[in-house]
């Protein structure tokens, strides 16, 4: 059995935490836009998995992690839907050709020695936040995602790699880059969402306050608490909007906050990336991805 272990004992550990659903959906739509979905000879749709492995291959070549884990949502019911039943309630059903790939991709990542992480009642974001907080004292952490909500996790030991158009293109958010680009700290990302809401997650924030006004308020008063402490200084119309929506403001901030203490049973050693080339090759052959092993394992 030939095994590749991606770690240099002379250097510091580095962890790649993959936002599985974000990458899989991105891969699906990037490869299905022409209406033709790649399938195996037996008719199994595999275009999203095919694209996922290409994105993953680009990431491991770029970031050269010694440890890798992939985090997944485990259904639509979470503690957030318990707090606000309409949370993400506006999202359409997944395309029929994508649905069978949800479980199949986990078999594929597992065949590459990548553990799949998910906790009932929590989102992948919460698992990623929990692992980033847990691992950052032992390793440099990179979060691979397309979700800007993850910017709240940025710190000196956690870089959030936001996927951009094309393969291998990322905006790499460190505290310095976030401040340079948005003049905001990671913690202020949460308060920004609390004020303006999030249409994709279907929570409203304060009615009548959009991104431009929300950013101005956060930059001027530092936080939602700072804004509330200085309501008397705001124009009457703006003050009225906030006062009328205080309960939703607090709930929206709560919904936007990534929970970094999810019950994830994983330590750093559990996601040491070791690829059993025979097992990985067999899975690639099964799904007719004859070139994907080379992309991932080099």
Count of domains in the chain?
A: 2
Q: How many Cα atoms occupy the beta-carbon half-sphere of 81 within 13 Å?
A: 11
| Residue 104, burial from CB neighbour count under 10 angstroms (0-12, 13-18, 19+) | middle
Is the distance from CB of 184 to CB of 192 less than 8 angstroms? yes
Q: Are residues 246 and 121 in the same domain?
A: no
- Assigned token pair, 174: 């460190």
Q: Are residues 56 and 94 in the same domain?
A: yes
Q: What is the structure's pLDDT at 285?
A: 87
Q: Are residues 31 and 150 in the same domain?
A: yes
- Whole-structure pTM value: 0.93
Q: What is the structure's pLDDT at 298?
A: 55
Q: What is the structure's pLDDT at 97?
A: 95
Is the distance from CB of 17 to CB of 72 less than 8 angstroms? no
Q: Which of 241, 256, 271 delimits the end of a domain?
A: 256
Cross-strand partners of 161: 144, 172
Rg, C-alpha atoms of the chain: 21
Q: Are residues 224 and 292 in the same domain?
A: no
Is the distance from CB of 64 to CB of 15 less than 8 angstroms? no
Strand spans (E) along the chain: 3-5, 14-19, 67-71, 116-117, 140-145, 158-163, 170-173, 274-276
Cα 173 from Cα 153, distance rounded (Å): 10
Q: What is the structure's pLDDT at 4?
A: 47
Mean pLDDT of successive 10-residue stretches along the chain, which has 298 residues: 46 91 94 83 93 93 96 94 96 94 96 96 98 97 97 98 88 97 96 96 96 96 97 97 97 97 96 90 85 60
Q: Are residues 62 and 194 in the same domain?
A: no
- Assigned token pair, 200: 């994709």
Q: Are residues 209 and 146 in the same domain?
A: no
Is the distance from CB of 15 to CB of 66 less than 8 angstroms? yes
Going by C-alpha positions, the residue among 241, 234, 232, 251 that lies closest to residue 206 is 241
Q: What is the structure's pLDDT at 291?
A: 65
Q: Are residues 43 and 105 in the same domain?
A: yes
Q: Are residues 36 and 80 in the same domain?
A: yes
Q: Are residues 150 and 262 in the same domain?
A: yes
Q: What is the structure's pLDDT at 10?
A: 44
Q: What is the CATH number of the domain that holds 203?
A: 1.10.150.20
Look at strands 3-5 and 14-19 and give their pairing: unpaired
Cα 102 from Cα 106, distance rounded (Å): 7
Q: Are residues 226 and 132 in the same domain?
A: no
- What residues make up the domain containing 226? 182-256
Q: What is the CATH number of the domain that holds 145?
A: 3.40.50.1010
208: left (phi over 0), alpha (psi -120 to 50) or beta: left
Q: Are residues 102 and 163 in the same domain?
A: yes
Q: Are residues 107 and 200 in the same domain?
A: no
């Amino acid at each position: 059995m030939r095994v590749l272990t991606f770690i240099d004992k002379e250097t510091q550990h580095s962890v790649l935490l993959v936002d599985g659903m974000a990458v899989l959906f991105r891969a699906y739509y990037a490869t299905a836009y022409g209406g033709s979905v790649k399938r195996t000879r037996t008719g199994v749709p595999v275009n999203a998995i095919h694209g996922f492995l290409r994105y993953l291959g680009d990431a491991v070549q770029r970031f050269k992690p010694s440890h890798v884990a992939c985090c997944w949502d485990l259904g639509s019911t979470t503690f957030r839907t318990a707090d606000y039943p309409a949370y993400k309630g506006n999202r359409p059903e997944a395309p029929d050709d994508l649905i069978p790939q949800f479980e199949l991709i986990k078999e594929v990542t597992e065949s590459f020695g990548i553990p799949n992480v998910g906790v009932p009642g929590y989102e992948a974001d919460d698992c990623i936040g929990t692992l980033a907080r847990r691992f950052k004292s032992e390793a440099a952490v990179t979060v691979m995602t397309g979700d800007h909500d993850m910017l709240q996790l940025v710190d000196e030991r956690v870089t959030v790699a936001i996927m951009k158009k094309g393969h291998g293109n990322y905006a790499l958010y460190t505290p310095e880059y976030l401040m340079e680009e948005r003049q905001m700290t990671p913690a202020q990302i949460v308060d920004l969402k609390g004020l303006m809401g999030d249409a994709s997650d279907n929570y409203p924030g304060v009615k009548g306050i959009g991104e431009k006004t929300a950013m101005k308020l956060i930059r001027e008063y530092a936080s939602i608490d700072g804004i509330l402490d200085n309501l008397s200084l705001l124009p009457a119309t703006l003050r009225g909007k906030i006062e009328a929506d205080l309960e939703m403001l607090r709930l929206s901030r709560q919904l936007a906050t990534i929970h970094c203490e999810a019950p994830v049973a994983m330590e750093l050693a559990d996601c040491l990336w070791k690829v059993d080339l025979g097992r990985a090759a067999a899975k690639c052959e099964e799904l007719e991805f004859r070139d994907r092993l080379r992309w991932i394992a080099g």
